[in-house]
């Protein structure tokens, strides 16, 4: 069942062009169509400036689109507090989003009481439930944000988001600043919570590895447009758009002998104030032709599709070798089974 439907979302920012420059318009999002189903994890990937965070903020109701339609459960999206009840957002830096003067307990209780979901009297019990859900020891309720590790702070931010019992959480680079082992912990937690509550996730990330692991569907963005979307498995197994291929190729793999022979992408992302005509990726695309400059390629919104004029004539995709060596796999299996045998689980004995 569809939870969220975005139709032709556009967002312009009006800039003053210097002392005598007059006004200029920066189009951060250009005609975005997107759907998120209940219980689904959809990832938005792309590099800085592609508009993925702006889109996340629009979904969460923190910004309004310049044009376009947002439906939640088939009805026009509500605004303000009512939207916050349905859709929550978790940011990259939990230190910046948690009030340093409030205890963890007060921080987690706040959204629940603000939305009238629990009475003040029942709040402590609800706080304990939420802390258990995000894997925090109950005693930490008395602590303050600066006393917590980065991973613990992000768990608090997640507990706050869950406090309103939302239908969708936007995770805007929510794990990017954490150590790799903590990223894995939080990613496991997100999947676990999704299984327990059936919540939908809009996962925004510039890194592809984690996206591949946790997403059901993926949308790849470049300069304010979606250039490829589809089931995560299909997109990663057979990327259709040259940009998606370059992103996958640029991602370092933790395997021996993977250095070198990448699909190099020339240059940098153009200024959104001086976009190339037609397909905006053509200035960096090794396959670009005159046709690409003439008109913008359309994107099918169903199934696995890419916005590329040459999608049928691109060279066949050669996937990179991704199987770990036998001994490494055996050692990882050994670690995994030893970790599973520990009672009580290691995680709880420490946090």
Interface with other proteins by CB under 8 A: which residues? 47-48, 149-152, 179-185, 187-188, 191-192, 206-210, 212-214, 232-233, 246-247, 249-260, 262, 264-265, 267-268, 322, 324-325, 327-328, 330-339, 341-342, 345-347, 349-351
Minimum CB separation of residue 73 from other proteins in Å reads 26
CB 162 within 8 A of CB 87: no
Q: How far is CA 329 from CA 208, 255, 326, 332, 334, in A?
A: 22, 11, 5, 5, 9
Minimum CB separation of residue 177 from other proteins in Å reads 10
Handedness of CA 185, 187, 191, 197 (dihedral sign): positive
Per the structure block, which two tokens stand in for 110?
């706040």
Our CB check for other proteins shows the closer of 81 and 336 to be: 336
Our CB check for other proteins shows the closer of 313 and 343 to be: 343
Minimum CB separation of residue 347 from other proteins in Å reads 4
Our CB check for other proteins shows the closer of 31 and 324 to be: 324
Our CB check for other proteins shows the closer of 185 and 229 to be: 185
Minimum CB separation of residue 338 from other proteins in Å reads 4
Whole-number Å distance between alpha carbons of 270 and 93: 27
Our CB check for other proteins shows the closer of 114 and 250 to be: 250
Minimum CB separation of residue 336 from other proteins in Å reads 5
Minimum CB separation of residue 296 from other proteins in Å reads 22
Whole-number Å distance between alpha carbons of 190 and 171: 10
Our CB check for other proteins shows the closer of 10 and 234 to be: 234
């Amino acid at each position: 069942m569809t939870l969220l439907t975005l139709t032709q979302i556009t967002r312009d920012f009006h800039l003053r062009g210097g002392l005598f420059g007059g006004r200029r318009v920066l189009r951060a999002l250009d005609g975005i169509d997107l759907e998120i189903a209940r219980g689904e994890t959809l990832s938005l990937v792309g590099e800085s400036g592609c508009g993925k965070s702006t889109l996340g903020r629009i979904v969460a109701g923190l910004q309004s689109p310049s044009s376009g339609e947002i439906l939640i459960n088939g009805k026009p999206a509500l605004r303000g507090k009512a939207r916050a009840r349905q859709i929550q957002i978790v940011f990259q830096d939990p230190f910046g989003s948690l009030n340093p003067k409030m205890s963890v307990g007060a921080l987690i209780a706040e959204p629940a009481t603000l939305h009238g979901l629990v009475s003040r009297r029942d709040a402590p019990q609800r706080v304990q439930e939420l802390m258990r859900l995000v894997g925090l020891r109950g005693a930490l309720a008395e602590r303050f944000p600066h006393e917590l590790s980065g991973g613990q702070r992000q768990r608090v931010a997640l507990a706050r988001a869950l406090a309103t019992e939302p239908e969708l959480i936007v995770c805007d680079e929510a794990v990017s600043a954490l150590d790799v082992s903590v990223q894995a912990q939080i990613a496991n937690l997100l999947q676990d919570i999704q299984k327990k509550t059936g919540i939908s996730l809009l996962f925004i990330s510039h890194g592809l590895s984690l996206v591949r692991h946790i997403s059901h569907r993926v949308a790849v963005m470049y300069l304010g447009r979606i250039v490829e979307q589809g089931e995560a498995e299909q997109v990663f197994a057979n990327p259709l758009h040259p940009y998606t291929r370059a992103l996958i190729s640029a991602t370092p793999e933790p395997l021996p002998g993977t250095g070198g022979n990448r699909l190099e992408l020339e240059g940098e992302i153009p200024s959104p104030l001086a976009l190339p005509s037609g397909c905006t990726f053509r200035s960096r695309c090794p396959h670009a032709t005159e046709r690409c400059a003439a008109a913008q390629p359309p994107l099918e919104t169903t199934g696995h599709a890419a916005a590329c004029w040459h999608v049928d004539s691109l060279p066949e995709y050669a996937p990179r070798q991704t199987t770990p060596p036998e001994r490494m796999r055996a050692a990882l299996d050994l670690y995994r089974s030893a970790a599973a045998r520990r009672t009580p689980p290691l995680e709880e004995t420490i946090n």
